[in-house]
């Protein structure tokens, strides 16, 4: 969703939510965390081809490895 305008991101998220709400599993590869957090029940976060975290969005945003992967070390 990196190349999309905010209104386009909203539309894509609405489509994903509609599919999810019908009980269909969707795998989305995405780098825009804000967008993906609103449509996901479960996330798997990868860095350099390795899984560094898995869980619900509320827990993922607090995970130290995820924070380091996105924002770097102090």
**Tokens linked to 69:** 């992967």
How many other CB atoms are found less than 10 A from the CB of residue 46?
12
* pLDDT tens per residue across span 2-19: 889 999 999 999 999 999
State the first-to-last Cα distance of the chain, in angstroms, to the nearest integer.
Answer: 28
* pLDDT tens per residue across span 6-60: 999 999 999 999 999 999 999 999 988 888 888 999 999 999 999 999 999 999 9
The predicted model scores a pTM of: 0.78
Q: How many CA atoms lie within 13 A of 66 on its CB side?
A: 17
By CB neighbour count within 10 A (0-12 exposed, 13-18 middle, 19+ buried), where does 13 fall?
middle
């Amino acid at each position: 969703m990196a190349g999309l305008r905010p209104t386009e991101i909203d539309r894509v998220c609405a489509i994903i939510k509609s599919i999810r709400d019908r009980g269909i599993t969707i795998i989305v590869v995405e780098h825009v965390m804000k967008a993906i957090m609103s449509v996901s029940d479960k996330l798997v976060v990868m860095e350099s081809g390795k899984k560094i975290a898995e869980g619900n969005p509320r827990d993922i945003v607090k995970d130290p490895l995820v924070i380091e992967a996105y924002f770097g070390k102090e």
